Amino acid sequence: MNSPLATARAEPVWASEEMPTFPKLTRTVEADVCIVGAGIAGLSCGYCLSKAGKSVVIIDDGPLAGGMTMVTTAHLTNALDDRYYEIERMHGPRGAQLAAESHTAAIHRIDSIVRSEKIKCEFDRLDGFLFLAPGDEEEILDRELAAAHSAGLVDVEKFVRVPISSAELGPCLRFPNQGQFHPLKYLAGLAKAIQDAGGRIFTNSHADEITGGQFAKVKVGAHSVKAKSIIVATNSPINDLLAIHTKQAPYMTYVIGARVPQGSVPKALYWDTGPTTQGRPASYHYVRLQKAPGRTKDEILIVGGEDHKTGQANDVDERHGRLESWARARFPDMGEVEFVWGGQVMETIDGLAFIGRNPLDEDNVYVVTGDSGMGMTHGTIAGMLLTDLIQGRENPWTSLYDPSRKTLGAVGMFAKEAVNMAAQYTDWMTGGEVSSEDQIAADSGAVVRRGLTKVAVYRDEKGTTHEHSAVCGHLGCIVHWNSAEKTWDCPCHGSRFDKLGKVINGPANSDLEPA
């Protein structure tokens, strides 16, 4: 089978959406709250705080929603990726109840915002179905049903089969009243509402330095944003060296989009149980529908999965091909694959995001990270929770999402991820990926050893080479070339750089050094 990359567009299905533009920060400004990051978390925080009467400034080093939010598949669900029986084991029955409550509240909040702000973002309420992956036992569904009911999701039901006529997928759990939307249209609406409430947004404005305390500020080149509180909503915190990064790990996940006739697949969210590691889905499949671009009535079937640790594999064509094979076996009306893309998720060791005061920092510096595959709802939870914390109000979710929490039930996962991270430093002792830059094809990259160091070499389409240090500026790991995304990815903590060495994802906050 030919790779779906051969004819598909290497971009998300919503990448063509025209987004509002904002100016670059060119002067020092002041606000009650400065938010670093203009994705789902940053804009949700900005919206909630603006509506609470706070003056807000949002900065981002790229365009609006140009980071990991751009590549989401935008499932709005309270069916947690890490399963309620695992959340209950690690956080206790009350923790599982609060997790269900907060994710349910996030969907309701998005629903309310869409209606009150009249945002045309294709928001829909719909069912979600969790079914078995090949080889998994029905007992998994029974355990999850009991745990979901215990967590307060009493409307979750077990069905004898997934209601899809084209394939026999076996028994499933139905999670009612879930949601989906067009993420970029929603965030464009949020940005407008923030501006209408007096908030200010600056893009292409890189946060060079973040300082908390009495004179809190975010330094942006020669200028700064002075604020009473700071929220770092950059997917992976750029202001934290170790405290958070030892408790979460970066994973790449992959997506294909193929055209299907309208109505050939019942409109719903679909997930399989996937292979598991210590009870955690290691690479499950997730599916939804999206209206196809243009005037056609067709839909795009969005299928994702095939995860791996960031920077620790470079077989993207094979992974997209496996997604296509998996989908065709279950959705025979699928046309040619038209879109392929990937994104990075931060998996915490205990399945829930870190939202709250940044560990080892001043009390007025907050972080949002650890989406754990639930970025749309976790980001919305952050808007509600951090607004309460900044206003000094109690919130029942504070301890559950506290970035300083220690989860005894996650010790095994912590140890496993720590060993994996430490093993990446052996890259310093190995040879290069190629012996000479002459072996690097056009529009491709590879790491070359030069004496005691390693160099990240990219050869552009004209044959000119661009050389940078292969050492990630966060904690000194050696980056690896990602041939599908055309990026340099750090296998330790998930920092990512474009082909010319410009940082595009933390925790690193500076470009790769010139070689």
Q: Using the 8-state DSSP alphabet, how is residue 216 labeled?
A: -
Above 70 in pLDDT, residue 3?
Answer: no
The pLDDT tens digits of the residues spanning 98-127 come to: 999 999 999 999 999 999 999 999 999 999
Which residues neighbour 403 within 8 Å (Cβ) at sequence distance 6 or greater? 243, 244, 354, 355, 356, 357, 358, 359, 367, 369
- Nearest Cα residue to 329 out of 373, 402, 272: 272
* Alpha-carbon 272 to chain mean position: 19
Domains of the chain: residue spans and CATH: 25-72+184-245+351-416 (3.50.50.60), 77-181+249-348 (3.30.9.10), 430-505 (2.102.10.10)
Half-sphere exposure of 491 (CA within 13 A, CB side): 23
- Give the C-alpha distances (Å, rounded to integers) separating 91 from 86, 299, 352, 389, 401: 8, 39, 10, 21, 11
What distance in Å separates the CA atoms of residue 152 and residue 103, rounded to the nearest whole number?
12
Q: pLDDT tens for residues 494-506?
A: 899 999 999 988 8
Instruction: Write down the pTM of the prediction.
Output: 0.92
* pLDDT of res. 489: 92
Residues comprising the chain, all counted:
515
Q: pLDDT tens digit string along 423-480?
A: 777 777 788 888 888 899 999 999 999 988 999 999 999 999 999 999 998 888 999 9
Amino acid 5: pLDDT: 57
* Model confidence band, residue 279 (pLDDT cutoffs 50, 70, 90): very low
Task: Label residues 138-167 b or e (16+ Cβ within 10 Å = b).
Answer: eebbebbbebbebbbbeebeeeeebebeee
Task: State the pLDDT at residue 497.
Answer: 93
pLDDT higher than 90, residue 63: yes
By the 10 Å C-beta count (0-12 exposed, 13-18 middle, 19+ buried), 378 is classed as buried
Lowest mean pLDDT among 88-97, 321-330, 408-417: 408-417
Res 369 pLDDT > 90: yes
Q: 53 falls in which pLDDT band (50, 70, 90)?
A: very high
- What integer best gives the mean pLDDT of the chain? 91
Between 339 and 407, residue with greater pLDDT: 339
